[in-house]
Amino acid sequence: MDTSYESNELIDRLPPHLKQFIKPQNYDDYTPINQAVWRYVMRKNVDYLSQVAHESYVDGLRKTGISIERIPSMYGMNRILKEIGWAAVAVDGFIPPNAFMEFQAYKILVIASDIRQLENIEYTPAPDIIHEGAGHAPIIASPDYAEYLRRFGEIGAKAITSAHDNEMYEAVRQLSILKEANPMAVEDLDAKIAAAEDRVNELQKKKVAPSEMALIRNLHWWTVEYGLVGTVDDPKIYGAGLLSSIGESAWCMQDEVKKIPYSIDAAYQEFDITKPQPQLYVTPDFAYLQEVLEEFANTMAVRKGGWRGLKKLIGSKQIGTIELSTGLQVSGVFTRMIQNEDNEVVYFETEGETALAYREKEVIGHGIRRHSNGFRSPLGKLKGINLSIENMGPRDLQAYNFYDGKPISFEFESGITVDGLNVTGMRNISGKLMLIQFTNCTVKYKDEVLFTPEMGDFDMAVGKEIVSAFAGAADYHSFDVLAHKVSETETVRPGLSSEVQELNELYQNVRDFREDPEGKDISVLETILSRAKNDFPEDWLLPLEICELASEHKNDLFDMAHDHLIALKLKRPEIAHLIDNGLELIKK
């Protein structure tokens, strides 16, 4: 299988920790049945959605290079998306939420290149090219919405996850893969699906405080995936989950689905990915989405910092960053903090590789090689001194005995003491001291020794407080280990049985007839229909395509195909509405 993908200027600028998720589309892997599924869904959607979707949808299909007749290629989409400043990449199913958001921040649409099976033609819990390509892509042709999507990615990429989020992500990914898997490719598939559903339900029932990522994913769900725009009494669809589901796009307009004016309250409304949504939120316009997003961002640690932000990072057990009042940024896996009686952070620790940065650029000499065993530092003011260390100029430092190459002992208001040889200091662009280096240093808090000379040089971060805390590294170049781990659970792609291959050949023959009917005898379709009825009596989409073609030729073949479809409706009532929808399109 090809492992390469075609890049462009937008994709080239992606950082390595995002590029690792990009997969080749492998367009030749799409079968004729896959193409027929795409065509059925798109014909039905365009017919229906032209009435109920936001006005930019149909025009957006054209602008983004989405064809009704065939599954889009990434190359073709990117040529056209370039005109509106976006690009698209293929990935393998669900990717970690932070990575998904960050792609959006770079104006890259993430498209799961697989396509749902015929059995799941109305809806699949797994991301697929119908959902991503035909759902997300057309709406970004609206400039207001495209900017919302980019800004959402920018903010969402900073959202701090929890250990519970990571478990839930893996469980949902596993379930979605199994639900789209071919029974022939996975042993005991039903049992494995049941076990995966139990795991998801078990995690959903856990009483845990929602993380920032959980809350912002709720906002994403109720807008980008399942959003309505307009008024509660006359809403239009813009959410990709609705635009790509021929079942839910109709269901959502029913009175049974409650319509609620969109607000920040949507962040606290959970959702179930496996069921139709009982309520949906309606925004008056796309500009209002940005207002709510900024309102939510003001509640996040990236803007509030403090002990709560650091506590979230400690709970995430993943690489995160705190920024101090001096602008110094510390990136690593945070493990501990000490607070004073006012809950202010007076000391913090990381474990393992840690890097220091300023304005998202690694501080020279302070990457993971120097700080391979973690980083720790007291924060706050010195005892008995009104002037903060960060505001001390050279003369102030000398007045308080901070001489380079001289021993010094001092105590913070928190009671933490530092005793060592002052080597040098480092200032930020504004002249504020942000880092002081000591050798032969001992740091104590009450009866606990926090740092000893045997641990090497002591680099003390300077700052009164933590002003920001967010997921990921300040400078993504700092870490050799990629910040977002690729899931070990891979999508199941089975080989085709001889029977399915034979059925695909029939679909291809019908497709060839449609695309180039000149000089072809319609009796070819009669032969195909006869084989379909005898050898594949459960299949409904192939006879429907033949019925469509026969309707154009005013031939007895139409009646034969139509009668077979009516019989199939009685035999398989669960797909009767799909046949009816197809026949209705033929009439139109």
pLDDT tens digits along 315-371: 999 999 999 999 999 999 999 999 999 999 999 999 999 999 999 999 999 999 999
Domain boundary among the residues 478, 510, 537 is at: 478
- Give 567-576 pLDDT, tens digit per residue: 999 999 999 9
Residue 1 pLDDT: 41
Please check whether residues 309 and 285 belong to one and the same domain.
Answer: no
Q: Is residue 185 part of a domain?
A: no
What was the pLDDT predicted at 512? Answer: 93
- Mark out the alpha helices in 298-339 (DSSP H runs): 301-304, 306-316
| Distance (Å, whole) CA 191 – CA 179 | 11
**What residue numbers bound the domain in which 532 lies?**
498-587
Q: Are residues 445 and 565 in the same domain?
A: no
Asked whether residue 314 falls in the same domain as residue 413, the answer is yes
Is residue 216 in some structural domain? yes
Name the DSSP letter for residue 373.
T
Q: Within this chain, do residues 463 and 541 fall inside the same structural domain, yes or no?
A: no
Q: Are residues 568 and 525 located together in one domain of the fold?
A: yes
Q: Pairing relation of β-strands 345-358 and 376-378? A: antiparallel
Chain-centroid distance, C-alpha 461: 34
Check if the beta carbon of residue 381 is closer than 8 Å to that of residue 413: yes
Based on the domain organization, do 401 and 525 belong to the same domain?
Answer: no
Residue 112 pLDDT: 86
End-of-domain residue from the set 293, 320, 336 = 293
Residues 35 and 75 in one domain: yes
Integer Cα distance of 132 and 71 in angstroms: 12
User: Residues, the chain, total?
Assistant: 588
Instruction: Show the low-confidence residues of the chain (pLDDT under 50).
Output: 1-2, 483-484
* Pair (469, 537) in one structural domain: no
Instruction: For residue 436, give the CATH number of its domain.
Output: 2.30.30.100
Number of domains in the chain: 3
262: in domain: yes
User: Do 349 and 212 belong together in one domain?
Assistant: no
In a domain, 188, yes or no: no
Domain co-membership, 129 together with 43: yes
Tell whether 583 is covered by a domain. yes
Residues 387 and 257 in one domain: no
C-alpha radius of gyration, the chain, whole number:
29
pLDDT tens per residue across span 212-263 = 999 999 999 999 999 999 999 999 999 988 888 877 888 899 999 999 999 9
- Same domain for 327 and 440? yes
- The reported pLDDT for the residue numbered 457 is 95
